[in-house]
Amino acid sequence: MIPLEEAQTFVLSTCVPAAPVAMPRRQAVGLVLAEDVVASEVVPPFDNTAVDGYAVRASDVASAGDQPVELAVIGEIAAGAGPGERALATGEAIRIMTGAPIPPGADAVVMVEDTERLGDDRVRVSASVEVGASVRPAGDDVRPGDVLFTAGTVITPAVVGVLATINAHSVSVYPRPRVAVLSTGDELVDDGRALAPGEIRESNRQMLAAALEAAGCAVTDLGIVRDDEAVLEATLRAAAADHDAVVTSGGVSMGDYDVVKAVLARIADMRWMQVAIKPAKPFAFGLLDGTPIFGLPGNPVSSLVSFEMFARPALRRMMGHGRLSRPSVVAVADDGLVRRPDGKTHLMRVTASFADDGRCHVRPVRAQGSHQLAATATADAIAVVPDGDGVPAGADVAVLLLLS
């Protein structure tokens, strides 16, 4: 058996970031910037008000906190309108709406809640304000030349909003990997009919396709390929030619005879590994005509854990992510994580929650068998339990959180 870290390093060394592409900002959500984003415009582009109220000269209302002050209202400025050409004179105010430009001569805004309108052309102000009160200066957020986002930044909806404010219609990003996923076996059924003796419902392909999409990949579902080496070879070669990666499950254990293993051993440069982990010990990885092939184990829990340990980090590297693995925390094991020494690291599925002590607490799901996907489906974290007798209740354990 080989250590988990050695297998991960081998895979990651082969899966390098893709060539960057230009992409419209909305389509780039979830992708990673390949270049810095530098502002070329001022945001906001002009001095504007942060509140509805009256633009004033702060000196005119300096005593308003002690004795209300009356000012002449000489106009109104709505959002989207110009600031006007006439400068505000002493003893004057202009009604102004949130986002509207500050008129010349004004240096502060009194909130409408601190005023009382007296007819059409007078306002009573009952609060004093400092110079600059409720004024958002031009360039208060962004100035030309500012590096807003560095290469490696993940594009979030908020980033899209910033890109819109600086008139950046497209950005340079690492594209989503196009990943083909398939399952093989004459025993598999996915058409909804009643099962015949010896048949099982196909689930790994459905699960892995969903996991790939959640990881940000563009997925092609190639369906079930029957146990025919010629058909499988043609399918794999076509998939490798048209995709950035291919994911299969099953047929990677030592001693197995499976069409996937037989075909890949002949047409691809594969490494068949026994990794010192439980579940997901068998794992295969290699290149078919330069395209990465992930051979995941057939048991559903093993397949999912293998995806988390090997395929997902590698695909994230291809997408330019800096953080490849799931977020890791040191958690408290509320229940004991019991195991036996076997030379492997156990990757136990657990539920995690944060308690009043500010720490993450975990408990194992009800079943840990590599075939018991229903129990694993309730897990939202993986506890990394080193070789030995396990982790006693109340002790610390390293945990990978699956929710981000």
The pLDDT value recorded for residue 258 is: 81
Residue 20 has pLDDT above 90, yes or no: yes
8 Å CB contact between 187 and 146: no
DSSP H or E run through 172: strand 170-174
Express each pLDDT in 364-398 by its tens digit.
999 999 999 999 999 999 999 999 999 999 999 99
Residue 59 has pLDDT above 90, yes or no: yes
Q: Which range (154-168, 184-198, 297-311) has the least confidence?
A: 184-198
CB atoms within 10 A of CB 226: 11
- Measured distance CA(344)–CA(281) in Å, rounded: 9
Express each pLDDT in 283-321 by its tens digit.
999 999 999 999 999 999 999 999 999 999 999 999 999
Looking at the DSSP bridge assignments, the partners of residue 360 are 354
Average pLDDT, the chain: 95
8 Å CB contact between 332 and 394: yes
Q: Is 163 left (phi over 0), alpha (psi -120 to 50) or beta?
A: alpha
Percentage of the chain exceeding pLDDT 70: 99
The pLDDT value recorded for residue 403 is: 81
Averaged pLDDT for residues 23-29: 97
Percentage of the chain exceeding pLDDT 90: 92
8 Å CB contact between 247 and 294: yes
- Measured distance CA(176)–CA(219) in Å, rounded: 9
Residue 176 has pLDDT above 90, yes or no: yes
The pLDDT value recorded for residue 62 is: 96
The pLDDT value recorded for residue 28 is: 97
Domains of the chain from N-terminus onward: 4-18+176-318 (3.40.980.10), 21-42+149-174 (3.90.105.10), 48-136 (2.170.190.11), 328-401 (2.40.340.10)
Closest CA to 111 of 92, 91, 126, 90: 126
- Measured distance CA(336)–CA(391) in Å, rounded: 6
Q: Confidence band (pLDDT; 50, 70, 90) for 237?
A: very high
Which residues touch 382 (CB under 8 Å, ≥6 apart)? 305, 308, 326, 347, 348, 349, 350, 399, 400, 402
Q: CA-CA distances (angstroms) from residue 349 to 4, 312, 336, 378?
A: 17, 17, 13, 9
Averaged pLDDT for residues 230-235: 95
Express each pLDDT in 93-147 by its tens digit.
999 999 999 999 999 999 999 999 999 999 999 999 999 999 999 999 999 999 9
**pLDDT higher at 24 or 261:** 24
Q: Confidence band (pLDDT; 50, 70, 90) for 205?
A: very high
The pLDDT value recorded for residue 254 is: 67
The pTM assigned to this predicted structure is 0.89
Residue 404 has pLDDT above 70, yes or no: no
DSSP 380-396: -EEEEE-SSSEE-TT-E
Q: CA neighbours within 13 Å on the CB side: how many for 198?
A: 3
- Measured distance CA(214)–CA(267) in Å, rounded: 30
Residue 186 has pLDDT above 70, yes or no: yes
Q: Residue 252 corresponds to which tokens in the numbers above?
A: 């990677």
8 Å CB contact between 303 and 208: yes
